[in-house]
Amino acid sequence: MTKRYLFLLLSFAILSLAPSKTAQADSQALGDQLFKLTASDAASGDSFGSGVGLSGNIGIVGAQGDDDPGSNAGSAYLFDATTGNQLFKLAATDAQAGDVFGEVVAIDGNVAIVGAAQSDDAGSASGSAYLFDVTTGNQLFKLTASDAAAGDFFGISVGISGNVAIVGAWFDDDNG
């Protein structure tokens, strides 16, 4: 893929996080549940539904507590929103225990972004985010802050629109 992705670093405080416990597709017209989405390898403690997103007919669901390849390494799943079928399981190519990959997710068109705020590339919980091609499930890029430091939690929030991705780092304290 030859598109370039610009990511913006935001420093902010999040007052509270209330992750969803289930991921379900609902009919707007009737108010009826269409599907209950479940990971093909679901296990207790995976926190499936910790992050959710939808673009067109593709849904993404994070599972920050997934233990493949290590405890709380995390994962995310892509689903066909018209059938409820799982398309791909997403994981960071460099996944480590404790990364909580999938705590936050976003999707736009054929690209998804997944946060791993507790990954340790530049020190404990410096954080990272990953871009994926939703048509193949392949990882495209890994994003880290140019000034990454321990405790920044880069990847605590993510967003994407077109070819622009945005990543939050709530404890980046370069300016005090």
β-strand 48-55 against 75-80: which pairing, if any?
Answer: unpaired
Phi, psi of 13 (to 5 degrees): -105, 135
Closest CA to 92 of 122, 68, 124: 68
Residue 166 has pLDDT above 70, yes or no: yes
pLDDT, tens only, 94-150: 999 999 999 999 999 999 999 999 999 999 999 999 999 999 999 999 999 999 999
Q: What is the DSSP letter of 101?
A: B
H/E element, 77:
strand 75-80
Q: What is the pLDDT of residue 13?
A: 27
Which residues, in sequence order, are bridge partners of residue 58?
Answer: 55, 80
CA 31 to chain centroid, in Å, comes to 27
- Count, in order, helices (H) and strands (E) of the chain: 0, 13
CB 59 within 8 A of CB 51: no
CA 35 to chain centroid, in Å, comes to 21
In the chain, the amino acid numbered 61 is: V
Q: What is the pLDDT of residue 82?
A: 94
Cβ neighbors of 95 (< 8 A, separation 6 or more) are 68, 69, 70, 73, 74, 101
Q: What is the pLDDT of residue 24?
A: 54
78: pLDDT confidence band, cut at 50, 70 and 90?
A: very high
Q: What is the pLDDT of residue 69?
A: 86
The whole-number average pLDDT for the span 4-13 is: 34
Domain positions in the chain are 6-10+44-169
pLDDT, tens only, 11-70: 222 222 334 345 555 545 667 788 899 999 999 999 999 999 999 999 999 999 999 989
Q: How far is CA 15 from CA 18, 103, 142, 170, in A?
A: 10, 16, 27, 10
Q: What is the pLDDT of residue 70?
A: 94
pTM of the model: 0.83
CATH number of the 6-10+44-169 domain: 2.130.10.10
Cβ neighbors of 171 (< 8 A, separation 6 or more) are 151, 152, 153
Q: What is the pLDDT of residue 18?
A: 34
Q: What is the pLDDT of residue 11?
A: 28
